[in-house]
Structure formats: structure tokens, C-alpha cells
Amino acid sequence: MLCSDSDLPAPPQEALDALCLRGARLLSGPVWAAAEVALAAPVVEAVALQGGRIEVFLRTPAAPDEALCGVLEDSADLEAALNVLWSGIDAILPEDTARTADATRRGP
């Protein structure tokens, strides 16, 4: 479900659960669906800044059941972080999903 940097203090499980729930509600469900209508585009990126930190949630259309979450200090360079996270998302997808994603990008 979630993994964290082992060099950092492990957050309490309830904090990880809340993070996971927030990501799920931002990238699926009624808020997400309504946002897709408002933007007239698939919503695959959610960013929340509160409590002195930035939470980033990414979802690739190639693996709609997966999402990548990153928690950054609020002084982080968000755009640079997003570039890193987007470029790395395929690398952490399961192998079969990655193959599907690759095939999707290449087309039939």
C-alpha cells in the first residue's frame, strides 16, 4: 500500500492511512469526477499544501488502480519534484503493469 524512506522516522499507521485515503478521494470518486468535468480533461495529479508540507498524488492512466504519493517539505521545489516523480512512476509500477503502460504508449 504505502512505503516510506527507511532513513526517516516511520509515520504512525493512522497517518499513512489518512494519507492514502486523501489520495484515493482526490484521484477517484465524486470530487475527482467533477474535477474532470470542470477541467474537461483526465485528472491525474493532485497537490495539497497544508500543515507545513506538500502532499503530491499522481496517477497514470496506464495503471488506474495505482497511485504514487510523495510528501515534501513546504520549501521544496514542487515543479522539480513533480518532474522527478512523473519520470519515476513507471519504474515502480509492477512489471506486468509497466509492460501494459509501455504498450499503451507505443500504440497497437
Partner 1 sequence: MGDLDRLNSKLAKLKGKDDGQIRASATDSIVSALLTEIEETILPREMILTNESGNRFVLVVAGRRLLALSGHGAEEEGSEGREDAAARIIAVFRGPFRTFLDNAREISIDAARPPNRIDPTMIGCSVETLTAALVGPGQASVADPVAAACDLAVAGLRLVGGDVVGRSGDAAHLARLEQFAGVGGAGLGQLAGDDTDAPCCVFLSDAGREDAILARIAFRGAAALILAPPEARAELIALCREPIPAAG
3-state secondary structure of 79: helix
Calculate the CA dihedral of residues 78, 31, 36, 51 and round it to 10 degrees: -10
Contact region with partner 1 (CB under 8 A), list: 8-16, 36-44, 91-99, 100-108: 36-44
Residue 25 in contact with partner 1, rule: CB under 8 A: yes
- Rounded Cα distance between 5 and 69, Å, is 12
* Chain centroid to CA 24: 9
Q: Binder to partner 1 among 49, 88, 94, 103 (CB under 8 A)? A: 49
Residue 8 in contact with partner 1, rule: CB under 8 A: no
Q: Binder to partner 1 among 29, 64, 88, 94 (CB under 8 A)? A: 29
Phi, psi for 89 (deg, rounded to 5): -65, -40
Nearer to partner 1, 35 or 98 (CB): 35
Binders of partner 1 among residues 68 to 107 (CB under 8 A) are 72, 74-81, 84
**Interacting residues with partner 1 (CB under 8 A):** 22, 25-26, 29-35, 37-52, 54, 61, 72, 74-81, 84
